[in-house]
Amino acid sequence: MSVVRKGKAGLLQMTLAKWNAMSASEAAEAALPCSGSRAWARGLAERRPYATVEDLAKAADEVWRGLGEADWQEAFDSHPRIGQTKAKAATAESLAWSAGEQAQVEDAAKAALAEANAEYEARFGRIFIVCATGKTAAEMLGILRDRMKNGNATELREAAEQQRQITQLRIRKWMRA
């Protein structure tokens, strides 16, 4: 029997069987915090049922790669800036996951990241997205500075790839039962 329970961070976790059994709209809403893109969540829900979490993860990548820039931007907007706790548009689950993913951001580095984030946003028109899990603030700052050298199209693809990686981590957290 499938179970729904609260995990260590208080986030809704469930089994794949429970999610497969939901209505399409409920399933999309449940998946939304993993990415932040409603089109992604709907596309993932429409492909159900999945036999394994690996199948779900593979489909998540396929759906993500088939989305357009506006859908990617919606996902980007669900993240707080590195070193901050608020986002343009995010679910409570997404913000809690972001806090855990950014746990390595030391207070001393927040000012430098804030300045670099502002430069990035002025240049590219969106927040800097990086898969922060396991990275120190100094590493993220170095990545941000390196990516400032990218052209617009290259940087959009890199941001989308970072979002894909974040989504993969979140799917596994979400489906951990």
Does residue 79 have an active-site annotation?
Answer: yes
Q: Of 42, 79, 81, 170, which one is the catalytic site residue? A: 79
**Joined tokens for residue 47:** 């492909």
Distance CA 95, CA 77 (A): 11
- Give DSSP secondary structure letters for the chain: ---EEE-TTS-EEE-HHHHHHS-HHHHHHHHHHHH--HHHHHHHHHT---SSHHHHHHHHHHHHHT--HHHHHHHHTTSBPTT-S-BSS--HHHHHHHHHHTTT--HHHHHHHHHHHHHHHHHHSS------TT--HHHHHHHHHHHTTS-HHHHHHHHHHHHHHHHHHHHHHHH--
Residues serving a catalytic function are 79
